[in-house]
Amino acid sequence: MNEIFKQQVWEITKLVPKGRVTSYGAIAKAVGFPNHSRHVGKAMGGCPPDVPAHRVISSSGTLSVPEFQKKLEAEGIVVENFRIKDFKKLFWDPLNEL
C-alpha cells in the first residue's frame, strides 16, 4: 500500500459528516480500488489524529474497533451490540454524496 493510497483514504474519511458512518468498501470504491477494503482498514490503522477513523465501519454495520463506540455515541449514533442502529439511514456513500 503506497502513501498516495493512504492519503486518498484519509482525505475521503475526513469528509464523512459528524453523526454519519461509511464503510471500508465504500471508501475503497471512492478512491478507485473497489476490491481493496482491507487495505482501507490497514490505512485507517495508522491514520493521523484528525482523521475520524471511528466513522468507518464494516459494510454490515458492525464496529471493527469496539473502542470507537464511545466516539460514535458522542456524535449521537446509537450502537447496540457493536452494531450501528439505523445503519442504512446513517450510511454516507462518498460516490453519491460528493
Note the pLDDT of residue 1: 64
Q: Are 27 and 12 in contact (CB under 8 A)?
A: yes
Query: In terms of CATH architecture, what is 3-89?
Result: Orthogonal Bundle (1.10)
Instruction: Give the C-alpha separation, 67 to 92, whole Å.
Output: 21
- Rg over CA atoms, the chain: 12
* CB-based contact 6:43 (threshold 8 Å): yes
pLDDT score at 86? 94
**Which regions in the chain score pLDDT beneath 70?**
1
All residues at 6 or more sequence positions from 2 whose CB lies less than 8 Å from its CB, including other chains: none
Ordered by start, the domain boundaries in the chain are 3-89
